Amino acid sequence: MGILPVSPRHHVWWGVGMALRTLTLGLVGVSALAGCASVAGSAAGNLADDLSAAILNQDDPELVRDNLPAYLLLLDSLAANPDAGPAVLGAAARLYAAYAIAFVDDPGRAATLAGRARAYGTRAACAANRRTCDLEGLPFADFTARLDRVKPGQAGALFSYAVGSLAYVRTHSDDWQAIADLPKIEAVLTRLLVIGDAADAGTVNTYLGILNTLRPPALGGQPEVGRSYFEKAVELTGGRDLSVLVEYARGYARLVYDRELHDSLLNRVLVADPRQSGYTLLNTLAQRQAAELLASANDYF
């Protein structure tokens, strides 16, 4: 069997991009609509909760795609306020990241929208903690020193910063400076394992699994570290989030050329019931990707 040639840069693009295609959607209802609710009061909060559930439990991704732009415009209007807080700014970052990666096929437009995601994430981090203002351009040691001073109450904004930054990397795969920021994004995610919300822990572990399996060991990758993150993500989500299994197969099993594990994980996705509370949308997309990966397996391995 032939092995598809994959350059380091292409592998970074593929891993980050395909991961965000499913994973950022899991943040749409929970964070973006919650951001609206945080400024609109309890009645709107109840509506936001209902809309959140409707999005995450939707088994028609195209229906979600066609209706998300209305929320983008709503968040733009709220974020235009100079006093906009981290909840609104973080919601805008996550929703723009999800929309740009999951639903926009035009590369130029996706890059523009992801740029907005990163800008909103940067503003969210700054609004939450002045120590996380002006992070761009800092040497790595100074960057991590600032992260060490971020408290649990500011973790949500930091997570939004990471999601916006990852979306930007995905849509600027020819920009080595953007790719060079991946170690900083990994440092943010590692910090979130310590201070982050337990509800986000599965996603954080999955992202870390992806980042550690972007490259083979000879180029600095750490596949076994990545595998441990994937296993932890499966444990934390109880196996209900099928996108974790897809990323495990795509990131780890393909990197180490473990065909048996690869097919086992993906077949597990295909036979699972996608209708799981809070995961139906993710799982519907994950099953589509699992079928595509299995179809290409003979060419890869």
Residue 1 lies in a domain: no
Average pLDDT on 219-246 reads 94
Q: Is pLDDT above 50 for 45?
A: no
Q: Is pLDDT above 50 for 1?
A: no
The whole domain housing 70 covers 8-300
Task: Determine the distance from the C-alpha atom of residue 197 to the mean position of all C-alpha atoms in its chain, rounded to a whole number.
Answer: 15
Residue 2 lies in a domain: no
Q: Is pLDDT above 90 for 18?
A: no
* φ, ψ of residue 146 in degrees (nearest 5): -70, -40
CATH number assigned to the domain comprising residue 263: 1.25.40.920
Q: Nearest-5° angle of CA 99, CA 102, CA 107?
A: 85
Residue 231 lies in a domain: yes
Q: Nearest-5° angle of CA 294, CA 223, CA 160?
A: 85
**70: number of Cβ within 10 Å:** 9
Residue 225 lies in a domain: yes
Q: pLDDT class for 273, splitting at 50, 70, 90?
A: very high
The DSSP annotation for 1-60 comes to -------HHHHHHHHHHHHHHHHGGGGIIIIIIHHHHHHH-HHHHHHHHHHHHHHHT-S-
Q: Is pLDDT above 60 for 195?
A: yes
Average pLDDT on 138-162 reads 94
- Looking at per-residue confidence, does 29 or 128 come out higher? 128
Q: Looking at the 3D structure of the chain, how many domains does it have?
A: 1
Q: At what angle do helices 280-295 and 8-23 cross, to 10 degrees?
A: 150
Q: Which of 108, 89, 255, 80 is nearest to 161 (CA)?
A: 89
